[in-house]
Amino acid sequence: MPGDFEDRLRRCMQTVAADVTPDPRTWRKVETRIRRDRTFRLAALGLATAAVVAFATVALPSLIGRGRIVFEPDVAEQPTQAPVPAPVPAPTGSPAPPAPEGVPEPPTEPPALPSPAGPPEPRQAATACGSGGLVAVFATVDGDLEASCADGRTVPLGPTPVRYANPAFAPDGSVVAFEQRDAADASPTLVTVGLSDGGVTDLGPGASPAFGPNGELASVLDEPGDGRQPVIQIRDDVFSEPRLEFPVFVEGAEEFTARHLSFDPGGDRLYWEAAYEGRSAWEADLTVDQPTGTPLEAFGADEGAGFVAPSSRDADTVDVIATCCPVTDGDLPATAAFGAVQPGPQGPEFAPIASLTDLGVPFDPAGDLFVAPAGTAWVTQAEGGPPAWVQGERSAWFVGDGQRLFLVDANGVAEPLRGDVASAAFNPASPVGAQPPVSPEQTPPEPTVEPPGAESSEPPVTVVQIYLPRADDPNPDCTTTFAVQRQVEGPGVLTGAVEALLAGPTEQERAEGYGGWFSEETAGYLNSATIDADGIARVDFRDFSALLNNASTSCGSAILLSQLDSTVLQFPAVTSVRYSFDGDETAFYSWLQLVTPE
Amino acid sequence: MRTATVATQSRAGVDGFADVYAAHHAEALRIAYLLCGDPHRAEDAVAEAFVKVYRRWSKGGIAQPRAYIRRAVVNEVNSRFRRLAVERREAAKRSGDDRGARGDDEQVVDADAMFSALQRLPERQRTAIVLRYYADLTEQDTAAAMDISVGTVKSSVSRGLARMRALLGEEAV
């Protein structure tokens, strides 16, 4: 009878739900988040108030007769040598090519200096690096600017009494824009400098400049205390008045703002990081008359997950740093990963490229996160010589936590660049790394797709995740596994990932508490792994059931399948998976006392 | 001094909210678990839902906290777990599960099978069934919690039950 079924359903749900015990620690988590939320709002309000005062008393008068940015080392300053203070050994498969012969030695003398107080001189900006070439501009945590030269020199641009942040290059490298403040708590103004003639343009109030592919300039206008919510302005070029203006948020939230703007390569969409109910990435369609900001959908599945610091590289892909998962009573994110949001079968999905909290060096996932494209530039250090920029083989990005700046490539290999840097911009006209990114290699792992890498004789190397349970998991539930990275070679990354999983954790990982069913005993038991046109992965093993005697218990099979599922389903092309022993699906599932999927 | 006053008010507000939390947390967690199938993720989602509820509660804008919390939990769980739909579907496919270790208690076996079938339903059908048959809401209240029409609740429940029967190999009479 239907009523019987519904009664059974009621009873069953009561039975299942009764097994769930509320965690007494959750209130602490809620309380912490509430207090931090309030603190954040109050701080934002306080900052806004202070900024109004500062703007009225300091920044506003200084808009007239502002000092020039001088792209030259100060006479008293010697160029510092190293943009890479402590390079770490790159893992196997590092894309960093060997140091090219003849890396230019840093000049023994700084270039000739123009008079800072003199009229604009064309060489002011262009000559900061001399013949070495300007590769990037760094904004330090103290608000100073530095030019990073191809030959490894770091040239202070100033010092100046004002503070700079968020540099951005025009797509042709002709102009660089900055956010400028006369004091740390002053309202920002936008300033651009022509790299060919040193011409300075003061665009008035604005922040977080970003150039589009045709030289259009986006920025955030956030005048605290004016009762308006922040707006994003679009100019056709640095000499034009804003032609488009739209609010950052759909609903009024004037005490919050946006930053880290980024156009898509076609200039049709704009992405930004919004600080509203946590940090998240937003986007807007610029082709309509009245653009509307909407959250970039993709994550949301993990506690504390969010999108920060987006940068766009193609029409369908947005690079982000995603923070994730406070695991303690506190509310700070525990991990941060750099990756890309791309279309997936269930909608936009985040595909990680590199775990930033697993670099072996400190990275603060709660920091002031930052990501920006760096072309295909890479760094290397000749023996006994200074670190130098070189032409890399893959797309790379500047990634930072507000203190430390890294260079991360499409394979997830990270090089620490330097500390005390809040943001950075890569010069598209740089002598290194300015080539268009090699698109197949800058996408996350895509199974069975051959990354061309046409110019490289090395097999493509891709970072994938395999999933292992941990012996010290505070909440063991037979299904929770944790990602660790492996580098796999060749076009079949699904095959490589499963093979790596079957080989089990490394000795070091075992020492750290990782475990699971697989080990050197099961290594090599993969017969094949394929994906059909419907996205169904078929993974066929040589029968390893005799090696894993207890894997068919309830908890044992749950862990085993969690390891396998998580590893296989990390690839966006895979929508479901079926396993078999030597071609026999029933053999696999019956071993685990499960019904073979339909 | 102004800051101190604000801080004091804030503390009183959060402490007051603790009572609301204590009264509704367990029910919210169990609904979340039935919706997402993972106790830890359910706990996380409920925590986030309560943070969002507090923002409204602190402004004195919630007349019926239980209903508001229920709605917040449904929204939070369903928005968070769409990404996990594939994994959940994969896990649920393997149920039906004749393992002996769970076979001693017929009711537990039935509950496991029911729960697995529930997890394989589309989000809207699953939510409607949980709210109707676990939270024991009326169709009107279910519609309000899901922000859909009563008619949609009826059809979602009907289709969901039919789908569950089919998954469990039971024909409707």
Quote the pLDDT of residue A69.
Answer: 27
Concatenating the DSSP letter of every residue in B75-128 gives: HHHHHHSSTTHHHHHHHHHT-S---GGGTT-HHHHHHHHHHHHHHTS-HHHHHH
At residue A348, φ and ψ (nearest 5 deg) are -60, 140
Q: Which residue of B has its CA nearest to A568?
A: B87
**Residues A349, A344: Cα–Cα separation, whole Å:** 6
In chain B, what residues touch A479 (CB-CB under 8 Å)? Answer: 38, 91
A141-171: b (≥16 Cβ within 10 Å) or e:
eebbbbbbbbbbbbbbbbebebbbbbbbbbb
Contact B42 A475 (CB under 8 A): no
* Helices vs. strands in chain B: H and E counts, helices first: 8, 0
Is A218 in contact with A212 (CB distance < 8 Å)?
yes
Contact A23 B43 (CB under 8 A): yes
Tokens of B171: 């024909």
Helix/strand/coil for A569: coil
Tokens of A486: 């492996």
Region of residue A150 (left: phi > 0; alpha: psi -120 to 50; beta: else): alpha
**Residues A557, A592: Cα–Cα separation, whole Å:** 6
Quote the pLDDT of residue A461.
Answer: 66
Residue with tokens 């777990």: B81
Strands of A349-355's sheet, edge to edge?
A306-314, A317-324, A335-342, A349-355
Range from A77-91, A427-441, B104-118, B156-170 that averages highest in pLDDT: B156-170
Choose the weakest-confidence range: A30-39, A203-212, A346-355. A30-39
Helix/strand/coil for A266: coil
**Residues B12, B18: Cα–Cα separation, whole Å:** 10
Question: In the predicted model, what is the mean pLDDT of chain B?
Answer: 75
Q: What is the pLDDT of residues A116-127, one digit of tens each?
A: 333 223 234 456
Q: What is the pLDDT of residues A477-490, one digit of tens each?
A: 676 777 777 877 76
**Residues A132, A148: Cα–Cα separation, whole Å:** 10
In chain B, what residues touch A15 (CB-CB under 8 Å)? Answer: 107-108, 111
Q: What is the pLDDT of residues A39-96, one digit of tens each?
A: 434 333 333 333 333 323 333 223 222 222 222 222 223 332 323 222 222 222 333 3
**Residues A223, A206: Cα–Cα separation, whole Å:** 9
Higher pLDDT, B128 or A447: B128
The Cα of B56 is separated from the nearest Cα of chain A by a number of Å equal to 12
Is A378 in contact with A82 (CB distance < 8 Å)?
no
Instruction: Pick the closest to residue B81 from B66, B91, B67, B68 (CA basis).
Output: B91
Q: Which residue of B has its CA nearest to A478?
A: B38
Quote the pLDDT of residue A168.
Answer: 92
**Residue A338 predicted with pLDDT over 80:** yes
Contact B47 A12 (CB under 8 A): no
Instruction: Pick the closest to residue A263 from A368, A149, A127, A170 (CA basis).
Output: A170
* B94 vs A300, A346, A597: nearest CB: A597
Region of residue A570 (left: phi > 0; alpha: psi -120 to 50; beta: else): alpha
Q: What is the pLDDT of residues A495-519, one digit of tens each?
A: 888 999 999 998 888 887 888 889 9
Q: Does B67 touch chain A (CB under 8 A)?
A: no
**Residues B115, A418: Cα–Cα separation, whole Å:** 52
Tokens of A193: 């400098």
User: B39 preceded by cis ω (within 30°)?
Assistant: no
**Residues A172, A194: Cα–Cα separation, whole Å:** 11
Q: List B residues 99-158 in contact with A (Cβ-Cβ < 8 A).
A: 99-102, 107-108, 110-112, 114-115, 118, 129-130, 133-134
Quote the pLDDT of residue A64.
Answer: 25
**Residues A225, A568: Cα–Cα separation, whole Å:** 51
Is B91 in contact with A565 (CB distance < 8 Å)?
yes
Quote the pLDDT of residue A541.
Answer: 94
ipTM score of the complex? 0.80
Quote the pLDDT of residue A440.
Answer: 35
Choose the weakest-confidence range: A10-14, A26-30, A250-254, A335-339. A250-254
Contact A16 B114 (CB under 8 A): yes
Higher pLDDT, A397 or A37: A397
**Residue A253 predicted with pLDDT over 60:** no
**Residues A103, A100: Cα–Cα separation, whole Å:** 6
In chain B, what residues touch A1 (CB-CB under 8 Å)? Answer: 173
The Cα of A301 is separated from the nearest Cα of chain B by a number of Å equal to 4
Choose the weakest-confidence range: A57-61, A491-495, B148-152. A57-61
* B83 vs A31, A301, A561: nearest CB: A301
Q: Does B2 touch chain A (CB under 8 A)?
A: no
Contact A9 B133 (CB under 8 A): yes
Concatenating the DSSP letter of every residue in B144-157 gives: HHHTS-HHHHHHHH
Tokens of A470: 């941990």
**Residue A456 predicted with pLDDT over 50:** no
Q: What is the pLDDT of residues A275-305, one digit of tens each?
A: 655 567 788 889 888 888 887 766 543 434 4
* A8 vs B34, B89, B110: nearest CB: B110
Q: What is the pLDDT of residues B115-146, one digit of tens each?
A: 888 988 888 889 999 999 999 999 999 988 88
* B114 vs A12, A18, A346: nearest CB: A12
Is A141 in contact with A402 (CB distance < 8 Å)?
yes
How many CB atoms are located within 10 Å of the residue A462 CB? 27
**Residues B79, A12: Cα–Cα separation, whole Å:** 25
**Residues B137, B133: Cα–Cα separation, whole Å:** 7
Higher pLDDT, A459 or A541: A541
The Cα of B66 is separated from the nearest Cα of chain A by a number of Å equal to 17
- pLDDT-derived band at A339 (thresholds 50, 70, 90) equals confident
Beta-ladder partners of A168 = A177
